Structure 1
Amino acid sequence: MSERMNELFTLTQKAQKMEMINEEIALGIYLDIFDNYTPKISKTYESAIRLLEKRQRYVEAEVICSKAIELIKADEISGTLDKFETIKERLDRKIMELSPADIKPQRKKFKLTKTHLILLVVILALIFMILKFTTPFDDLNVDLDGKESLNGGEGVYKVTTESSELTYPVTEAMIDIATSELKKNIDVSDASVIPQDNTLGIAIIIKPGTSQERAVELTEAYLKSLSGAAAAAYSDLKAPTKETLGELYDYYELVITVGTSTKPEDFIAKGTKVRGASSIYWRNMDNQ
């Protein structure tokens, strides 16, 4: 399998699992896939069309549907032609019902050209020259932690900004370790951790017949395996204990979904945990 095919497979798997956690993020991944690749599986087209249609983005959905029809006719992807033609007819009707103001344009991918690069270099050079010859503070060093400088001391001030980098990044290696450990349980089919800024999306696919209590138990085991792997990588991070999930989750919010498939009607347990909370908040699935 080529490198691009591997990338496409990984992105597609990520999008499918993200549908359980956050459909907006999943849709973004699908659209990136169609910007950069030609998927060979009709389910990828169906998923993107469904999420776009759900958001009344009928024009974008119709473009993807037409592409699927074209590729099926050329025998380049699998899929049922009649099914996509029926979807296209439905989308065309919905587009006709929209007013011009309701029709959302198809997203266009920005391409960086040589002209853009030259303009960027020129702009940066101009900004540097303006700052160089207009600021009267070239040699001023300001350290906001040096309070003695306020009273004429020797300390100097440095302007600092809060870093946007994560304190303890969750890596693919950590996720692989935790997932491999969880999948040793016979009632687990698959699992994934999807980092998104300061949030971790946790998705677990379990075997049919697994109880909600067992789903919660498996989730906590998964989280402890992940935080244990993180603690092994970061020596100053506290590992999980019998009573705690580990210090890792003081730095991340959690969005958890456990089900027998990615369909909402098959979800067994859903939970969230905000930073600073001592435990996971599990929703009452009986009221869903």
Structure 2
Amino acid sequence: MSEKRNELFNLTQRAQKMELINEEIALDIYIEIFENYTPKISKTYESAIRLLEKRGRFPEALDICERAIKLINEDQVSGILSKFETIRERLLKKMGPETVAEKPKQKKPIKLIIGLILVVAVAIAVCELSRPYDDLDVNLDGKESLPGGSALSGNNDAETNDPEFPITESMIAVAVAETLKNHDAVDVAITPQDNTIGIGILVSPGTDVKRSQALAEITLKALGGAASATYKELDTPNGDNLGGLYDYYELVISVGTGSEEDEIVAKGTKNKTSTAIYWH
């Protein structure tokens, strides 16, 4: 694989996984992809169009749609032409007659730092999952309306402070590896944002609610165990106790088998003062 193709592959994988955690970051990555590369997978075009359309950025979405149609006609992308033609018609209708005549405006170049995972978030976390990409979406925007508590955080001012026990990449790697030992766990994304942790787990078809919840708890105990090994002040997980780490972090969890809302099997939240996950 050439260096450029390898970069495109890594960016695409990162964009897909970031949709599990934060759609705004994922969209920035997609925009970087289309500014610098020509993706050969139609799903990349569909994902970027969907995220742009959802935010009312119809000219940008139309521009990517037109690129997909052109490349499919040239046999450079193996997609369904009629699907993108339908998307184009929908976007044109949403833009209205005045906007349709205008040439879609290009977004100014955005260089995303590829290593950015710890995000200085806006308000963290509605657990209402918007339509995910290929896999899952844990949307962490709008913390105050999280189910399972009137406000997930009892002290809003504390949310702007750095976490007392920061989560490291090595802790995340331990938790991901432990979860993926299970044959029905396909992929895992763990992203801390301020004092909240987003957990996204892709599971194999046929995985039921209880098993999905169990896989989430496996992930959380592994992460809590890795944290307690680093920070001696934290209790280690045991029994039903997920570990002392979650006295300092709030949780937003999504487990599912695919991209549609009805493919999301389990959604959960937990605030710092709760002793258990609120599944809903």
The equivalent position to 1:184 in structure 2, one of 176, 181, 185, is 181
> Which of 236, 239, 244 is 2:236 aligned to?
239
Q: Tell me what 2:12 maps to.
A: 12
1:47 corresponds in structure 2 to 47
Tell whether the 8 Å contact from 2:62 to 2:104 is kept in structure 1 after alignment.
no
Do the aligned partners of residues 215 and 107 (structure 1) sit closer, same or farther apart at CA in structure 2, a change above 3 Å counting? same
Aligned to 1:107: 107
Does the CA-based 8 Å contact 2:195-2:250 persist in structure 1?
yes
Q: Which moved more, 1:265-274 or 1:85-94?
A: 85-94
Q: Write the deviation string for residues 172-206 of structure 1: whole angstroms up to 9, x where unpaired.
A: 33222212211222222222212333322111122
Alignment of 1:87-166 (within 5 A): 87-97=87-97, 106-109=106-109, 165-166=162-163
Structure 2: distance between partners of 1:3 and 1:50: 28
User: Cα distance 1:163–1:232, how it changes in 2: closer, same or farther (>3 A)?
Assistant: same
TM-score by length of structure 2 reads 0.69
How far did 1:245 drift? 1.1
Contact 2:162–2:195 (Cα < 8 Å) also in 1:
no
- Tell me by how many angstroms 1:216 deviates: 1.3
Q: CA deviation at 1:224?
A: 0.5
Distance 1:33 1:197 in 2: 27
Q: Aligned partners of 2:52, 2:160: CA distance in 1, in Å?
A: 35
Q: Give how far 1:44 is off.
A: 0.9
Give the superposition deviation at 1:26. 3.5
Residue 268 of structure 2 corresponds to residue 271 of structure 1:
yes
Q: CA deviation at 1:17?
A: 3.8
Contiguous gaps of at least 5 residues in structure 1: 112-161, 284-288
Closer/same/farther in 2, CA of residues 91 and 214 from structure 1, 3 Å limit: same
SS in 1 for 2:64: helix
| Offset of residue 49 of structure 1 | 0.7
Instruction: Report if aligned partners of 1:21, 1:256 keep a CA contact under 8 Å in 2.
Output: no
Given that residues 273 and 280 in structure 1 are in contact (C-alpha distance below 8 angstroms), is that contact kept between their aligned partners in structure 2? yes
Question: Percent identity at matched positions?
Answer: 56
Deviations 1:63-117 (A, max 9, x none): 11122233334544332334323322332232234679xx995431268xxxxxx
Question: What TM-score results when the alignment is normalised by the length of structure 1?
Answer: 0.68
Letter in 2 for 1:228: G
1:202 is aligned to: 199
Does structure 2 retain, via aligned residues, the 8 Å contact 1:21–1:201? yes
Deviations 1:6-27 (A, max 9, x none): 4543443343344455544433
In structure 2, C-alpha distance between the alignment counterparts of 1:24 and 1:62, rounded to whole Å: 18
Does the Cα contact within 8 Å between 1:21 and 1:255 map onto a contact in 2? no
- Following the alignment from structure 1 to structure 2, what is the Cα–Cα distance between the partners of residues 258 and 274? 18
Pairwise CA distance, 1:272: 1.0
Residue 65 of structure 1 corresponds to 65
Q: Which residue in the other structure is 2:145 paired with?
A: none
8 Å contact from structure 1 (residues 202, 256) kept in 2: yes
CA RMSD of aligned residues (A): 3.1
CA distance, structure 2, for counterparts of residue 205 and residue 110 of structure 1? 29
Provide the residue aligned with 1:83 in structure 2. Answer: 83
Shift of the alpha carbon at 1:165?
4.1
Specify the SS of the correspondent of 2:186: strand
- Please, which moves more after superposition, 54-63 or 35-44? 35-44
Contact 1:20 1:262 in 2 (8 A): no
SS for the counterpart of 1:201 is: strand
Asked whether the 8 Å contact 1:261–1:267 carries over to 2, the reply is yes
Q: Is the 8 A contact 1:271 1:281 kept in 2?
A: yes
Larger RCO (CA under 8 A, 6+ residues apart): 2
- Distance in 2, matches of 1:110 and 1:210, equals 39
* Matching of residue 174 in structure 1 with residue 171 in structure 2: yes
For residues 168 and 2 of structure 1, what CA distance do their matches in structure 2 show?
A: 40
Cα deviation digits, residues 231-255 of structure 1 (max 9, x gap)? 2233443322223212222332211
Q: How many residues align?
A: 231
